């Protein structure tokens, strides 16, 4: 299974590196393609929670997914 990058170019789906600059400022965007004015997609996997709580297994799984996303730069 191939996991998507956290940020991708909307034209060719090449990975884009986005670095936050500061609160209220435009982030720095580094495209790995030639579409420097394209829209950037931010694909994410979402875990929805209601009034109930997560089980211990679900909490561990969620934490591992968040850690792997941070380390790899992919939405896992």
- Count the domains in the chain: 1
Residues of the domain holding 27: 8-72
Per-residue model confidence (pLDDT) at position 14: 93
Strand partners, 18: 29
Beta-carbon contacts of residue 7 (< 8 Å; ≥ 6 apart):
15, 16, 17, 18, 40, 41, 42
- Mark 5-20 as b/e (b = at least 16 C-beta within 10 Å): bbbbbeeeeebbeeee
Residue 2 located in a structural domain: no
Residue 58 located in a structural domain: yes
* pTM of this prediction exceeds 0.85: no
Distance of CA 17 to the CA centre of its chain: 10
Segment 1-26 mean pLDDT: 87
Residue 35 located in a structural domain: yes
Segment 16-42 mean pLDDT: 91
Segment 45-65 mean pLDDT: 82
Residue 31 located in a structural domain: yes
């Amino acid at each position: 299974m191939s996991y998507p990058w956290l940020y991708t170019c909307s034209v060719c789906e090449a990975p884009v590196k986005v670095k936050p600059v500061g609160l209220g400022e435009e982030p720095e965007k580094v495209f790995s393609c030639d579409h420097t004015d394209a829209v950037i997609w931010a694909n994410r996997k979402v875990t929805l929670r209601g009034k109930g709580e997560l089980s211990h297994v679900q909490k561990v799984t969620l934490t591992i997914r968040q850690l792997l996303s941070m380390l790899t730069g992919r939405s896992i």
